[in-house]
Structure 1
């Protein structure tokens, strides 16, 4: 019999001895998180040099034991095919074996991460992982949209369950508070379009046609697109941040415990607010965009406001206005769905919140651009 003690004045102590071809780990003292650091090296030595089926743990002299100490003791036999077998233990302790088995079942040893490669196969692997992630995001977003629609239909059956106060608050945040930045940006977009018309059309003697250029571009495309992008950058991130903060503080779990549906309380009012306020913001963007173009046409091309307005009325069809307005509710719905879904996906840490806010804005802008292109092709085929 050979002893190899790791002695400490207080706390954990381990004695390693051999008996009948077995290596016995004899645990002494209290194995807690404050004391087990001094016995880590002997346990690792046994793990590296002894077959796991020949390791025996002696619990006769063990004192107090917490989860850290149980993990360290159980680590020695983890590689064995039967890590919790009776042949691994001698001596008695009221809780040690049960705690060691419980810790082993609830922990998983992960292999070290392999550094990323740079070969062609690794590049294909990363592309495939990205496509799989994109497909998963698409499926989950469609599922979230379906659940929101189901909640909305259920609310139509029971109108008293609709959170009117939350919806009005969201309308103020989405619409009223966003009006100044939408109006200012659209004003400058209209001005830029007018300057482009002044530079290009004046060379051919067609400066008057800059009125149609401003009107069609602002009414059909720029007003609604700028509104949607600003909603994605401003309101969408706010939705994700507010819902994500509630998720981190377990307020959403508390809602479910109280019998409240988070979709009914948090998601549906924001979706309704975006769908209703997006057309109003788009209309404001149209007015300010045309006004900015009119001022530039007046100053740069000497087209008076009276002539500008008269030509708008006489040459532009109402279809241009309705084309732009028809896109607004769709963009508002998309922005709200993505923002709320990303907020509901936030985990319990600030890093997750930051990633979800970024993903919310990026996904919203990307999908808005894609839908805008689909609308343009559809209206082109319909001749509208």
Structure 2
């Protein structure tokens, strides 16, 4: 136990027994009641922990108390507490704004470079997986591909159809507002037809699939990584790329052209209904005009881009899913990264395709 005994000047504090956390509150009150200058006698202390040592050290630091009678072990403990007692910087030093911007830029470039290298490596592993499956067709998981067809394609028909239908209406409405100023409302059909078939049908479908299926790929594979199912596959000799990645990529590549064609049709349907209701253009006239203004190359441009976009979306989703490790928070962050990466790469590739097709005369 710890106690105190004072002399006539009430400036001597004698401890005895144990000076530990269990006596911290009473010891602190007794030390606060002492007068300065104070002497602390530790000759009777049998055991002391870091809390008791800190109380003594605080008295020495703040009130210039003198300590006597301390054993070598207690003296050593007091020295360790004194060495550890230094101010902690809660907030880092403010640095110039330019330095912070350059640092953030450097970190972003470094992270982007690592992601690019990892993505290229994952692409190589995926191509090797396709080659192995082609050499041994019995390893192809047909049922898994059919299930992914359902997830990527069939269950996406509703949201993609509604989105495309509304986009057709929006294109028609915005185009008609501008063309009415010149009395050229009939050219709204040209605008709806070419934009839907060539660009927006494919691009908006890719963005929707990236947000819906790409995120699902990352979350599913990431959850399997956390629960160690992927490691279990490797243990029993099953390639995770062949079992998890290839079925999802095949489903995305095959279903994207079908979804894009469906989106184009729904967009034209929405635009046609708008022209019929708002502009008084009958459906027969709308259909005939579409045949005149939409070259077949526009449809081919949209359908050629679709499987490439599907491959990129599946690649980014599976790649980010395979990067998950540690905890469930990683699943959310990698899922977000998968959506952002896939949409970014889709838009970049769309710009590349636009330049390429313009160069070859399909512009």
TM-score category (smaller protein): 0.7 to 0.9
In structure 2, which of residues 102, 108, 130 is the aligned counterpart of residue 124 of structure 1?
102
* Structure 1 position 197 matched with structure 2 position 175: yes
Structure 2 unaligned segments of length 5 or more: list them: 1-15, 21-45, 56-71
Return 195-204 or 336-345, whichever deviates more.
195-204
- Contact 1:331–1:368 (Cα < 8 Å) also in 2: yes
Distance 1:203 1:160, change over 3 A: same
In structure 2, which of residues 305, 314, 322 is the aligned counterpart of residue 344 of structure 1?
322
Alignment match, 1:89 = none
Cα offset, 1:354, TM superposition? 1.1
Cα offset, 1:41, TM superposition? 4.9
Cα offset, 1:250, TM superposition? 0.6
Q: Give the Cα–Cα distance (whole angstroms) in 1 for the partners of residues 347 and 253 of structure 2.
A: 18
Alignment match, 2:196 = 218
- Contact 1:297–1:303 (Cα < 8 Å) also in 2: yes
* Structure 1 position 171 matched with structure 2 position 149: yes
- Contact 1:228–1:332 (Cα < 8 Å) also in 2: yes
Cα offset, 1:372, TM superposition? 1.1
Alignment match, 1:60 = none
The alignment of Structure 1 onto Structure 2 pairs a total of residues equal to 301
Q: Give the Cα–Cα distance (whole angstroms) in 2 for the partners of residues 236 and 139 of structure 1.
A: 20
In structure 2, which of residues 262, 273, 276 is the aligned counterpart of residue 298 of structure 1?
276
Q: Which has the higher helix share?
A: 2
* Structure 1 position 187 matched with structure 2 position 165: yes
Q: Give the Cα–Cα distance (whole angstroms) in 2 for the partners of residues 306 and 188 of structure 1.
A: 21
Alignment match, 2:92 = 115
Return 338-347 or 122-131, whichever deviates more.
122-131
Q: Give the Cα–Cα distance (whole angstroms) in 2 for the partners of residues 227 and 5 of structure 1.
A: 77
Cα offset, 1:366, TM superposition? 1.3
Which has more radius of gyration? 2
Cα offset, 1:311, TM superposition? 1.4
In structure 2, which of residues 233, 236, 243 is the aligned counterpart of residue 258 of structure 1?
236
Q: Give the Cα–Cα distance (whole angstroms) in 2 for the partners of residues 241 and 182 of structure 1.
A: 21
Cα offset, 1:42, TM superposition? 7.8
Q: Give the Cα–Cα distance (whole angstroms) in 2 for the partners of residues 373 and 179 of structure 1.
A: 26
- Contact 1:155–1:161 (Cα < 8 Å) also in 2: yes
Distance 1:354 1:219, change over 3 A: same
* Structure 1 position 363 matched with structure 2 position 338: no
Secondary structure at 2:238 match in 1: coil
Secondary structure at 1:347 match in 2: coil
Secondary structure at 1:178 match in 2: helix
Matches for 1:314-329 after TM superposition, within 5 Å: 314-329=292-307
Distance 1:162 1:117, change over 3 A: farther
Alignment match, 2:249 = 271
- Contact 1:243–1:344 (Cα < 8 Å) also in 2: yes
TM-score by length of 2: 0.76
* Structure 1 consecutive aligned stretches of length 4 or more whose deviation exceeds 3 Å: 4-8, 38-45, 111-114
TM-score by length of 1: 0.72
Q: Give the Cα–Cα distance (whole angstroms) in 2 for the partners of residues 112 and 130 of structure 1.
A: 27
Cα offset, 1:263, TM superposition? 0.3
- Contact 1:198–1:300 (Cα < 8 Å) also in 2: no
Cα offset, 1:117, TM superposition? 3.9
Cα offset, 1:145, TM superposition? 1.1
Structure 1 unaligned segments of length 5 or more: list them: 9-27, 30-37, 46-55, 58-72, 80-110
Cα offset, 1:112, TM superposition? 8.6
Q: Give the Cα–Cα distance (whole angstroms) in 1 for the partners of residues 318 and 355 of structure 2.
A: 29
In structure 2, which of residues 201, 204, 209 is the aligned counterpart of residue 231 of structure 1?
209
Q: Give the Cα–Cα distance (whole angstroms) in 2 for the partners of residues 127 and 201 of structure 1.
A: 44
